Amino acid sequence: MSARRAYGTGTLQVVGRSWIGSWYGPDGRRVRRKVGSVRAESRADGLTKAQAERALRQMRELDRPSPTPSERVTMERAGNDFCQRLELKGRRKSHRLTVASDLRNHIAPFFAGKTLDRIRPEDIERYVAAKRKTLAVKTIRNHVNTMHSIFDLGLRKGWCRVNPVKQADRPTLNKTETRIQFLDQAELEQLLASSYPDDAFGRIEPTLYVTAAMTGLRQGELLGLRWRDVDLDARKIRVVSPFVRGEFGDPKSAGSGRSVPMAERVAIALGELREGSCYAHDRDLVFCHPETGKPLDRSKLVRRFKQALDRAGVHRITFHELRHTFGTRMAAAGTPMRTLQHWMGHADSKTTQIYAHYQPSDQEADAVDRAFR
């Protein structure tokens, strides 16, 4: 099947389940490429005819003469410019460092020797295929998003004529449920009751772990917590300024700045920690280095946590997965998902839904019993 198009604008055909475009390039040679999948009931992500026409026009734009050599810019240079703009826009340091690391270690080396105007959609797809061997799909999608923004900057600067990322197939996240890791109540008790090294850090570890598991605070939120944000009388913890990537910043999202209820057990542990600390002023950090008052080193914290799990004889989880311990326990206790979303600081309710399967379901089971009596 062929679509009638104006003379000189190429040909668009349906071959199997794909739109195939063909045209003559600047060198006179015939170019034939896949434009995308045909939209059908079974493929909602495919292209309609109008979308395929637009995609074909953009692909043909890529074959037009490139900008003059003086305007040609490499991915590395464009990436550096993009990072500077992130700083001007006031993006969080953690985000800027992540983008810079992705560019330095992955994106720029892969496209070394190619300027923006010479990068094609198939080059983006080759990048995705190469990184699938070593990186998580979500990480690769973040890389692709970064490249998309860099090419948009290139369009404004005149470094390229089109954004090839728009025409490339992106990796799809697996939507099947991933079993989350957490400590059940018995394992948590085992961890808290195990012995700890008789050193400065060891004296704060149990309180740090019980607070993490029973409040759901993120690691950065715990490291940035100050005594003025801990209300022992009202049994509330206010999340104000997390410590991430070496700096105190704003909450992760609009929903991250919040108050979280504090169990009596946590309140007692924090009260005892403050009484025995040299850094108990309102402005001091709750979980600071016991000898200097400075923020704890993240890598040391993670290493000590792994050692604590091994001593307790419970299965390995990451420190972040103590958050899941809180989320699953609160869901199992019947906490409404909207309330749990606020307590955990999730910007999107879909994120909180991973805990929905742990909610009580006695009425559902009773309904099945009644149906089959």
Domain range enclosing 34:
2-62
3-state SS string over the chain? CEECCCCCCCEEEEECCEEEEEEECCCCCEEEEEEEEECECCECCCECHHHHHHHHHHHHHHCCCCCCHHHCCEHHHHHHHHHHHHHHCCCCHHHHHHHHHHHHHHHHHHCCCCEHHHCCHHHHHHHHHHHCCCCCHHHHHHHHHHHHHHHHHHHHHCCCCCCHHHHCCCCCCCCCCCCCCCCCHHHHHHHHHCCCCCCCCCCCHHHHHHHHHHHCCCHHHHHCCEHHHEECCCCEEEECCCEECCEECCCCCCCCCEEEECCHHHHHHHHHHHHCCCCCCCCCECCECCCCCCECCHHHHHHHHHHHHHHHCCCCCCHHHHHHHHHHHHHHCCCCHHHHHHHHCCCCHHHHHHHHHHCCCHHHHHHHHHHCC
Establish if 140 belongs to a structural domain. yes
Answer whether residue 69 shows pLDDT above 50.
Answer: no
- pLDDT for residue 165: 94
**Residue that finishes a domain, picked among 12, 34, 62:** 62
Query: Do 312 and 329 fall into the same domain?
Result: yes
Query: Do 43 and 74 fall into the same domain?
Result: no
- pLDDT for residue 92: 80
- pLDDT for residue 57: 84
Per-residue pLDDT tens over the stretch 246-275: 888 766 655 557 999 999 999 999 999 999
To the nearest whole percent, how much of the chain has pLDDT over 90? Answer: 53
Answer whether residue 292 shows pLDDT above 70.
Answer: yes
Query: Do 301 and 329 fall into the same domain?
Result: yes
Higher pLDDT pick, 44 / 95: 95
Establish if 371 belongs to a structural domain. no
Per-residue pLDDT tens over the stretch 18-35: 889 888 776 567 888 888
Higher pLDDT pick, 245 / 153: 153
Higher pLDDT pick, 4 / 21: 21
Query: Do 25 and 114 fall into the same domain?
Result: no
Mean pLDDT lowest for which of 44-58, 256-270, 293-307, 317-331? 44-58
Question: How high does pLDDT run on average in the chain?
Answer: 87
Establish if 180 belongs to a structural domain. no
Mean pLDDT lowest for which of 68-72, 89-93, 330-334, 368-372? 68-72
Query: Do 34 and 159 fall into the same domain?
Result: no
**Residue that finishes a domain, picked among 114, 133, 167:** 167
pLDDT tier for residue 128 given thresholds of 50, 70 and 90: very high
Query: Do 163 and 189 fall into the same domain?
Result: no
Answer whether residue 239 shows pLDDT above 60.
Answer: yes
Establish if 172 belongs to a structural domain. no
